[in-house]
Amino acid sequence: MDLTITDRGLLQVAQRGGPPVLLHPVWLRERLPDAAVLDPRTGQRLQEAAETPRDLRVVSAEPDGTIAFSDGFATRLPSDWLTNAIATCPAAGHHVHWDATLDRGRFPAADLADLRADPAALSALLEELDAYGFAVVRGVPIEMDGGLALAGLMGPIRITNWGGMADVKAIPNAYDLTMTPRHLEPHSDNPYRDPVPGYILLHCLENDADGGDSTLVDGFHAAAILRRDDPAGFATLASTDVTFRYRDDTAFLEHHAPLIARNAAGDVVQIRYSNRTEMIGRLPIDRLDAYYAARAAFWQLIAPASPLTLRFRLQPGELLMMDNYRLLHGRTGYTLATGSRHMRQCYMDRDTVQSRRRLLQVA
Ligand SMILES: [Fe+2]
């Protein structure tokens, strides 16, 4: 290991084929694989990092990885530890933006039997789910709770005020427009919840009525286009909290958040779009003008006839798994007199699915 120390006491690590990497002494200290710093069993930190002296310096670094600090603490780094520590988020996924040209034959897809039999097949599907935001699983038992066979491979489902696995079919006196034969505009589910359900598992039991095709839009792709073509509109949607609300006799669910959410680095991390449940507050007129213009611009990108909209038909025994932080889903209207359309759906939390993906990466 080629280690040197700068005048300021930073550790400088030589890199093959690139500039050296400078490591802050506190950054290094607070993650040292030393039983005095991190609990060996859990990997959790034992020392209060905020109390680390901010003028800490590295005072010596030996070729065998022994590092000493200005407060007298010394440890020996295992080989390869520095290399791994320097790499940024090696497990982070990547997003593939798609549009209506994505053929059904290129959809991320797998058979449930293969996912059950082979963890590598489940791992591959979860990586594709992460990249594309959706996946189709075939061969799911055509029975009321058949979708739980897939969910169980990943973890517990999210229980809401509607229970776990719930019907999506037309009923009299529907409590939600989902439960009617009406078309559904592209939307994300339940933005009035906190947290919003991370993934939707939509399992098809019957689908032989006229109409009832599924639609999907890559919301991250739409947001990227808006950001490129209408930066002011993008900034408006990303910085304006709106109210999402659902109310019935037993539930009053409300959440305030922007249509486009970013992380601290400015990357888009969540799309909320739900015409049925969104109401903006009484903002100043000019801010409302800006919001309505920006929302209209975003709608043009995700509207059913847009070049971003995928349209396809789910067959009985297929289950469509969707990233509810990224995708906007909908359906065409259907005619009850011509047949039946019966889906069942449940939610899974984001961390549940991501946990399975990460565990399978290291398995
Ligand atoms: Fe929905």
Interval 110-148: pLDDT, tens: 999 999 999 999 999 999 999 999 999 999 999 999 999
Domain-wise residue ranges, the chain: 3-87, 104-362
All residues with CB under 5 Å from ion ligand 1: 189
Alpha-helical regions (H) of 204-279: 219-229, 231-239
Residue 245 CA to ligand 1 center (angstroms) comes to 15
Residue 187 CA to ligand 1 center (angstroms) comes to 6
Residue 184 CA to ligand 1 center (angstroms) comes to 8
Residue 297 CA to ligand 1 center (angstroms) comes to 22
The pLDDT confidence band at residue 17, using thresholds 50, 70 and 90, is confident
Q: Is 36 helix (H, G, I), strand (E, B) or coil?
A: coil
Residue 168 CA to ligand 1 center (angstroms) comes to 9
Residue 274 CA to ligand 1 center (angstroms) comes to 9
Instruction: Give pTM, 2 decimals.
Output: 0.92
Residue 326 CA to ligand 1 center (angstroms) comes to 13
- Name 330's bridge partners: 215
pLDDT in tens, 26-64: 999 999 999 999 999 999 999 999 999 999 999 999 999
Neighbour count for residue 120 (Cβ, 10 Å): 12
| Domain 3-87 CATH assignment equals 1.10.150.110 | no
Residue 286 CA to ligand 1 center (angstroms) comes to 32
pLDDT in tens, 247-257: 999 999 999 99
Q: Which of 249, 270, 271, 254 is nearest to 162 (CA)?
A: 249
pLDDT in tens, 317-358: 999 999 999 999 999 999 988 989 999 999 999 999 999 999
Residue 328 CA to ligand 1 center (angstroms) comes to 8
Fold of 104-362: Double-stranded beta-helix (3.60.130)
Q: Within its chain, how far is the Cα of 267 from the centroid?
A: 12
